[in-house]
Structure 1
Amino acid sequence: GGFRLKREGSKECAINIGLHLAHSPTRYSLKKSPALAKLLKWERGTWSSLLLAFWAYVREQGLQDEANAVMVKLDEPLQKVFEDARIPMTQVGERLLEFVSEVDPVRLDYTLCLSGEAKPAVFEVAVEAEAPIVSSMRAFLDLGQQRGEREECERLDAEMSSLVREIEDRRHRRDFMKSFADQPISFLHDITTAMSLDLSTIRSTAPSQFAALSSEEVLRAQTWQQPWTEEAVLQYLAMHGHAVNLHMEDVLTEEDAILFAQSAIAAAGASQAVHNGEIPAAQEAQYRASLLAQATPPAQPG
């Protein structure tokens, strides 16, 4: 973060910037009484730390009145500060308030140049912060009250993680379908090319009739009309996170997956036939439909 300073004119000038830090809890100093700060070995800090420093001094010097336990006998250095010989314990805080003030703001000396390019400056400011162990102790003391809130936060974190995973899955699925809708020919060409590279791995442990295809066989439309192609497409899509998980309720059914695979195979075969000059481009749609009809099994009689 930062801020800008502007001033009309052409002469540079020295300015003093005061930054009042928002301490929580509020911090005080004993700048009004250096003598008291020296006695208590306390210059600035929170109000509670000042009271602790005062009572520590009282205990060390044995200043509590034995005859009247509610009174504090002041030694000579304290008498010079408070101008009194005895102070009731109930008035200690009130008397200390006479000497405390809020800590001074952070002062930054800066020369404001009103000609030429702007000259940014960076200042390092030391800020007092609560010790980590104090925060840990406070958290431990509040553990009972925070247990219910922590459990609720953990539940919400788990719910958010689940939603993030679901969003990611749906994004992959959407990207997959959008790529197919935008450029179906190039998309199917890419997917069939990748399929041919994966087939050797997929079928490495399968029977011999599923051996790796040669580059010439890959280019033949008949190759992709064999019975094993449907399973190969489904396995490929499943490996890449886009396919249809037949065991999940929110994805495609097996029939839908097979139909999609058959459509992909038919489109790839028609595209390859046009590419090889086997059919004119104008007949690609008709040829694709015929391939799909050949790959689709006839309906079983009811």
Structure 2
Amino acid sequence: MPRRLTDRSLPPGLSAISPDASLFDDLLETEKRLDWTMTRRRQEIYDTLSRSNGGIQTKRTLRIFMSHSVKNQAWQKGSSEDSAKAETAETTEGEKQEGEEPKTKLETGDGVPSWTFKVEGKLLHPDDMPKPKRWPTPQRRFSHLVRSLAIEMDRDPTVYADTNHVQWNADPRWANYNLLGAYPTAPASTEPAGSSTSPPTGATPLDGFTITRTGDVPTMLRITLNINHIPDRIKLSPQLASILGIQEDIKANILGAFWHYVKANGLQDKNDRKLIRLDDRLKSVFNRYESLNFQDIQALLTAHMQPADPVILQYEIGTHRLDSAGQDMDMDDPSNPVKISSGGIGVNEDGQSAIKAFDVELDMDDLWMRMKAADTIMSMQPDPVQIGTGTPAPPSATFLAIQKADDEIKHNLQTLRSMRVRRDFFAALAAKPSSFIQNFVESQARDLEVILGNERAAEGGGAGGNAGGIRESDLTNSEFFQGDWAAEAVAVHEGMRMGAAVASMHHAQQAQNMQGMGGMGGMGPPGMQMGMR
């Protein structure tokens, strides 16, 4: 694979030859600024997506539906008795129904008047938000959007044995699912709770809640919903809320509003910028302090924060029947059109009431925008990665086209640099041919001598003992030998020559001494005589 070029700069001095060269330099500067801007924006998106308190927020509408149904009420039993009489009309007078059991069984609850209350929630889809094709938005069920739900029933505890208070708490894992933008795919369950006093478990995602109780009289219900805002909404104390002008908001906005109040009123100390001088209004809130350190602001404001108020809804259950026009009917005389006074919301002939709806605004993490931002980041990467697999995705056609154009620009710049060298060569030759040729030949000769000198040095020397460190042309120039190095070289050479002469004389003297010792015969000991032979 050929090596890819990396240099995209123009040859120096090209702007003096071609004025258009400055346009290319401007393009390079523009590209650098664009790359820097895209990198900064991409990092900002990364920071937004990685915030634990929710980076991309939106306001959505949660529509809550409430309804109820009744069973085994007095007017329902009257209708069933009329049908039963028609079925038993053929029975003879002498026949007696033996073993007939009462229609109401208190032990099992069969035939006991009762009502069933149902509360459901649905997150409305904004009309201005398109449905993404690549990123399907996870379905958010009612239990994902509330932290807890409590139902209080206004009933006489001495008459009804079952509890008048039911509460459901969400599983703590839902908060993590909300931040990650993913939810479990467990099926929803909206089955009636029956007469059991235990609420449904918070681990299963639900689209609604039902509760069944015995009773044949109107009953007032109080439904308390703790909405799962992301990030959490905070309610301020009345004193601090009157100063900042915020009753309820997220913590980041509250801190920003406090800092804006400090800057607008000039409460920051001029000498010590970390110190905040409190005015009379803030002193009434922080009555123990005259000033605050910057690092203590959040801790002191937290003391004046509390969770946001829950949503409280009222619903009155009625057990009476409505006519086709939606008016109450006198069950003693169904043909009587006179409207009577009955409490609660009535039901139709099937025992089902109309649906009552309430809209609640909530802050939540915009999963669709979060996924769109993640898709934008991935499209900006040089080597995109397939979501969910971690394997490199095939580059897009746009990325390949940009890469091909960039390679062509680099090759053209390399060709331009070669042509610039050739142009400078011929321009200098045309301006001063003789001096240019002389300088060119000398330059080529020096380069050749350096090359040959390196080869001779590698071989251990060349002709005439020149090891390549001195050029042949310098040896023919007398001025070359007038330098200080020549005197030093002569001194070194003479020192080496005198040292060699002294060493030669020393060796000759030793040889004469050895010969004299050999002529002394048996003067030495026997071992020495044997060694001298």
Q: Which has the higher helix share?
A: 1
TM bucket, shorter chain: 0.3 to 0.5
TM-score (norm 1): 0.43
Q: Work out which of the two has the higher radius of gyration on C-alpha atoms and give 1 or 2.
A: 2
Q: Which has the higher strand share?
A: 2
The one of the two structures with greater contact order (alpha-carbon pairs below 8 A, sep at least 6) is: 2
